[in-house]
């Protein structure tokens, strides 16, 4: 399981943002690519393990799966590779690249600003 | 009162940028970086020893070898190639920072080839860019020909497939044709290299392929400079 280190990076980033915005984090929305190398279930486990006191104490991790998408370099068509097969289903070209689905994307965070005035 | 703050940031982006920089720096030195990965025991180290014996010093190569524990692979390689052991202490794959430290420890700046022998694992290394120019997945005949279909990510992200231990083909129920068919259905550009490190079969052909890949990298790098 290698999700711990990326979740640590995530928590650090979100903590910095929350501190700058003077809010408590209610939700963290993460987009998880099918070929990102990270499993949503393992990300949730790592998050639960690392979540400590502070602005992220009650934050909920919401994970949106990002399906793999490829673009054909021959016909420019975009497709979702079925079972990770990367040849273009339209023209058959083997020359394709992944356009989406390899990323782990921090999409947004939801902040609660009610403590804004009292918490520095 | 709640507020939604849009971020839209790829948490992988810093790692990807660092990998691109490493790739470019090694290309500028004329070094082809090869990320070798497979299940444990598929014969990655034996393949590297066989390559070194084939080249007899005509090509310079160094190895960064990843394992969970022990220096055994580096010790096995040491009589043949300069090697640095990278022990991950439990982690399931190598990360770029470890590779960069290993490359510095190797202290041989102008290699023809830098082989990164990943931790034996067909799953996690597939998702980690180590700044390589070429990704080679090794599948041994004793593992079964169904592995490309079962572990698609390893094959769909690679450029070359080495089928190792072909000297055992008479003894094991492994169809090279079936493995290649499943693997190329995932990645049609995959080139296949059946080898035996024991008998030496196929090693010369695979070595020539690596040299051709390096020659192409050098052409592309000099084009980029011009």
Domain boundaries, chain A: 3-66+101-112
Q: Is A101 on the interface with B (CB under 8 A)?
A: no
Percent of chain A whose predicted confidence (pLDDT) is above 90:
79
pTM for this predicted structure: 0.89
Per residue in B147-204, pLDDT (tens digit) is 999 999 899 999 999 999 999 999 999 999 999 999 999 999 999 999 999 999 999 9
- ipTM for the predicted complex: 0.84
Q: Which chain B residues contact residue A112 at CB under 8 A?
A: 1-2
Per residue in B14-63, pLDDT (tens digit) is 888 999 999 999 999 999 999 999 999 999 999 999 999 999 999 999 99
The rounded distance, in Å, linking the Cα atoms of A70 and B171 is 40
Q: How far is A114 from chain B (nearest CA, A)?
A: 6
Take residue A27 and report the two structure tokens written for it.
Answer: 């939700």
Q: Does residue A120 surpass a pLDDT of 70?
A: no
Strand order in the sheet with A96-100: A78-79, A69-72, A96-100
The rounded distance, in Å, linking the Cα atoms of A75 and A89 is 11
Contact A94, B189 (CB under 8 A): yes
Architecture of domain A3-66+101-112: 2-Layer Sandwich (3.30)
Q: Do A81 and B156 touch (CB under 8 A)?
A: yes
Strand order in the sheet with B160-164: B83-87, B61-67, B113-117, B32-38, B134-140, B160-164, B191-194
DSSP string covering A52-110: -SSTTTT-EEEEEEE--EEEETTT--EE--GGG--S-TTT--S-EEEEESS-EEEEEEE
Per residue in A47-94, pLDDT (tens digit) is 999 998 999 999 999 999 999 999 999 999 999 999 899 999 999 999
Backbone phi, psi, residue A105, to 5°: -110, 120
Q: Which of B4, B91, B148 to mutate to test the interface with A (most CBs of A within 10 A)?
A: B4
Q: Does residue B223 surpass a pLDDT of 80?
A: no
Report chain B's mean pLDDT, rounded to a whole number: 93
| Confidence at residue A116, expressed as pLDDT on a 0 to 100 scale | 56
């Amino acid at each position: 399981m290698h999700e711990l280190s990326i979740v640590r990076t995530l928590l650090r980033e979100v903590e910095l943002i929350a501190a700058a915005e003077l809010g408590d984090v209610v939700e963290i929305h993460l987009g998880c690519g099918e070929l990102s190398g990270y499993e949503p279930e393992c990300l949730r486990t790592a998050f639960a393990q690392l979540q400590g006191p502070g602005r992220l104490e009650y934050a909920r991790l919401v994970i949106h799966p990002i399906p793999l998408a490829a673009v054909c370099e021959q016909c420019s068509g975009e497709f979702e590779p079925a079972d990770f097969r990367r040849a273009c289903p339209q023209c058959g070209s083997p020359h394709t690249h992944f356009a989406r689905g390899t990323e782990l994307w921090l999409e947004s965070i939801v902040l609660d600003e009610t403590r804004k005035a009292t918490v520095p | 009162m709640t507020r939604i703050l849009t971020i839209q940031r790829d948490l992988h982006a810093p790692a990807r940028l660092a990998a691109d920089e490493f790739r470019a720096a090694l290309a500028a030195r004329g070094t082809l970086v090869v990320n070798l990965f497979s299940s444990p025991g598929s014969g990655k180290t034996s393949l590297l020893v066989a390559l070194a014996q084939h080249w007899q010093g005509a090509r310079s190569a160094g190895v960064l070898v990843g394992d969970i524990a022990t220096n055994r692979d580096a010790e096995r390689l040491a009589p043949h190639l300069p090697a640095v052991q990278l022990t991950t202490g439990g982690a399931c794959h190598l990360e770029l920072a470890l590779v960069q430290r290993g490359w510095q420890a190797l202290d041989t700046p102008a290699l023809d080839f830098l082989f990164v022998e990943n931790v034996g694992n067909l799953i996690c290394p597939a998702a980690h860019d180590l700044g390589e120019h070429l990704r080679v997945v090794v599948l041994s005949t004793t593992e079964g020909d169904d592995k490309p279909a079962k572990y698609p990510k390893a094959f769909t992200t690679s450029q070359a497939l080495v089928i190792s231990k072909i000297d055992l083909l008479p003894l094991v129920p492994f169809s090279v044709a079936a493995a290649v068919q499943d693997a190329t259905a995932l990645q049609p550009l995959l080139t296949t290299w059946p080898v035996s490190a024991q008998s030496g079969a196929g090693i010369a052909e695979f070595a020539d392929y690596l040299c051709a890949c390096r020659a192409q990298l050098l052409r592309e790098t000099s084009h980029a400079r011009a």
